[in-house]
Amino acid sequence: THSSNNNISLSSSSCPTCLSQGPPPRRMNFSLDLKDAEAARCLREQEELKMLGPEVQVCFVLPSEKSFTKTFRMGNLVEHLKVAVQSESNIPFEDQELYMGETLMADPLMIRDLWKNEKEELRVSVKQLKSSSKKLEDTLSDKQESKMKSGDVIETEEVDEEYAV
Q: Identify the DSSP state of 138.
A: H
Q: Tell me if 38 sits within 8 A of 54, measured CB to CB.
A: no
Residue 52, pLDDT score: 83
Mean pLDDT rounded to a whole number for the chain: 75
Determine the Cα–Cα distance for residues 101 and 115; give it in Å rounded to an integer: 11
Percent of the chain predicted with pLDDT > 90: 41
With a CB cutoff of 8 Å and minimum separation 6, the contacts of 136 are: 163, 165
**Is the pLDDT reported for residue 6 higher than 50?**
no
**What is the rounded average pLDDT of the residues 119-126?**
94
Residue 25, pLDDT score: 62
Helix (H) or strand (E) holding 58: strand 55-61
Summarize pLDDT for 53-86 with one digit per residue, the tens.
Answer: 999 999 999 999 999 999 999 999 999 999 999 9
DSSP bridge partners of 71: 57
The residue with greater pLDDT, 28 or 133, is 28
Predicted confidence band of residue 39 (pLDDT cuts 50, 70, 90):
confident
Backbone phi, psi, residue 58, to 5°: -120, 120
Cα–Cα nearest to 126, from 93, 165, 164, 163: 93
Predicted confidence band of residue 4 (pLDDT cuts 50, 70, 90):
very low
DSSP bridge partners of 67: 61
pTM of the full predicted structure? 0.55
Residue 17, pLDDT score: 53
Lowest mean pLDDT among 13-17, 75-79, 126-130: 13-17
